[in-house]
Structures are given as structure tokens and as C-alpha cells.
Amino acid sequence: MIELQHIVKSFDNVVILNDINVKIAEGTVTALVGPSGGGKSTLLRCINLLEIPTSGTLVLGGQSITLDPDRKPSWQSVQSIRRQTGMVFQNFQLFPHQTAIQNVMEGLVTVLKWPKAKAQERAMELLTKVGMAHKADAWPSTLSGGQQQRIAIARALAPSPRVLLCDEPTSALDPELASEVVDVLSKLAKEGTTMVIATHDLRLASKIAQNVVFLESGNIVETGSAHDVFANPTRDRTRQFVATINAAHTYDI
């Protein structure tokens, strides 16, 4: 279970997230959707404490951390949360001087201190899972965006995190390459991988997510099942957003 209780995030007295309360069950996929600047990526980064919330409580896998604007959290408490998460970034962020398999192995060897042979075996297992075993020795510069993102997913999965966090995983890709990534994430969802995905791509959200959180201006506008939020939203703002996205992309959710 992931639980966010009264999460607030401010930058220079500007409130970015305002009293966010969300529960995410293990084995489910939750999509964070909404207009640009709504707080999706910030909320995602607060879950793994890449951004430290100004206040509130985060519960993840039996570990709990309460944030206070007057007290910096301990490094140990931050790490106890962060090590339970894997992060997939919009622009892949692979190390250009390392091959695909080396990128997947890196955290296992340097952070978790795995023996190289064990890390290599785990890396090949994950590259096979994402359909990239044949590119194990390729440099990132020789790969398409979709291939790089699949390697980034394998890297994020390497330490067996409790939750996979994906920040706009398809937005830097054209539709054909994006479909490669969607297929991988869909497979992971069917296997019961807990995921939280910040995305503008409502097709991705509707295909993979069981639950949706619609954010705007740092506030939760609406939450519910993906079917209910997309097909029968209760809030006028949600209806307007879904209709606008559908019209812009000439497809219906």
C-alpha cells in the first residue's frame, strides 16, 4: 500500500501541491492526469522523495515518513522510501558511455553492491522481459527512443522495487515508438506490477490504469476508476479536459 496523507509541496511560498490524499493498492496501476503544470510530475517525485514534500506523511511498504517544514528528514528515512521505488523518466536518462546491459547493471553493482555476474544475469533477464536482449551490447546513441525507454524500464525494475514510477514515459516518442513502451507497461500491469504513471496520454492511461487521479493547479479535482473518470466523470472540469484531449487527438477514450 502507498498512502499520501495531506501532502503539501511549496516552492518559494508558491503552493505546487495542496493537501493531497491518495491511497494506492499494491498490484494496481494509477494514472496521474491533468493539464501541464497541474502537479503530476511533482507528485510523482514526492512519492520517491526526489522532491521532499513541505509537509504531510508518506507511507510505503510499511515504512512511514512525516515531513515538517521546520525539520529536514534524515537521510536514512529518505533512503528507506526511495529504495522501494523505481523511476522511469520522460527523456530516458541512460548513461551514454555505457551499453544497454551496463545501464541496467549500474545500480545493482554500485549501489546495492551485487557481484557483477549476478547483476549481469539480472540485467539480461530484464532486457529479455522488455524485448531488448538482442541490444544488450548496444550504445544508447544507436537506439531509437522507444528502445532507450524500454532499457530505462528494465533499469528501474532491476532492484525489484515495490512500485514503478513513470514520468510521462511516452511523451518524447512518436506514436509508433510509444506503442512499444505501452506494450511493455501493459505487460507489467498484467503481471501485477504496482505502477504510478504521470501522463498526458489518455490512451495509455485508459489501457493500463485501473485508477485515475485528475490534478489541476496542485489540487485533486477527481479520483476514481479509469472507466468512470474517462467515460462518466462527475466534475465539469474533468469532462472538459477529457473532451479537449479527445478532440485534439481525434480518438475517443
User: What tens digit of pLDDT does each residue of 6-53 get?
Assistant: 999 998 889 999 999 999 999 999 999 998 889 999 999 999 999 999
Average pLDDT for 111-127: 97
Query: 44-58, 103-117, 141-155, 176-190: lowest mean pLDDT where?
Result: 176-190
pTM of the shown model: 0.92
Query: 137-146, 181-190, 237-246: lowest mean pLDDT where?
Result: 237-246
Confidence of residue 186 (pLDDT cuts 50, 70, 90): very high
Tell me whether strands 219-225 and 211-216 are parallel, antiparallel or unpaired. Answer: antiparallel
Scanning the structure block, which residue is given the C-alpha cell 517525485? 45
Q: What pLDDT score does 58 carry? A: 96
Q: What pLDDT score does 203 carry? A: 81
Own/partner contacts of 124-130, CB < 8 Å, gap of 24 or more, are 126/154, 126/155, 126/157, 126/158, 127/100, 127/101, 127/151, 127/154, 129/154, 129/157, 129/187, 130/154, 130/184
The residue extents of the domains of the chain are 11-55+74-84+163-253, 96-161
Confidence of residue 54 (pLDDT cuts 50, 70, 90): very high
Report how far residue 239's alpha carbon sits from residue 80's, in angstroms, rounded to the nearest whole number. Answer: 39
Scanning the structure block, which residue is given the C-alpha cell 504521470? 198
Of 253 and 41, the one with more pLDDT: 41
Tell me whether strands 85-88 and 219-225 are parallel, antiparallel or unpaired. Answer: unpaired
Query: For every residue of 69-121, which 3-state class applies, written as one string?
Result: CCECCCHHHHHHHHCCEEEECCCCCCCCCCCHHHHHHHHHHHCCCCCHHHHHH
Cα angle, residue 30 at apex, residues 74 and 156 outer, rounded to 5°: 55
- Contact assessment for residue 169 and residue 145, using Cβ atoms and an 8 Å cutoff: no
Q: What pLDDT score does 246 carry? A: 63
CATH of domain 11-55+74-84+163-253: 3.40.50.300
Class of residue 138 by CB neighbours under 10 A (exposed 0-12, middle 13-18, buried 19+): middle
Q: What pLDDT score does 249 carry? A: 52
- 136 Cβ neighbours under 8 A, 6+ residues apart: 99, 100, 101, 123, 124, 127
Report how far residue 186's alpha carbon sits from residue 190's, in angstroms, rounded to the nearest whole number. Answer: 6
Is the sign of the CA dihedral 97, 158, 44, 130 positive or negative?
Answer: positive
Report how far residue 154's alpha carbon sits from residue 141's, in angstroms, rounded to the nearest whole number. Answer: 17
- Kindly tell me if the per-residue pLDDT of 119 is higher than 50: yes
Mean pLDDT of the residues in the chain:
92
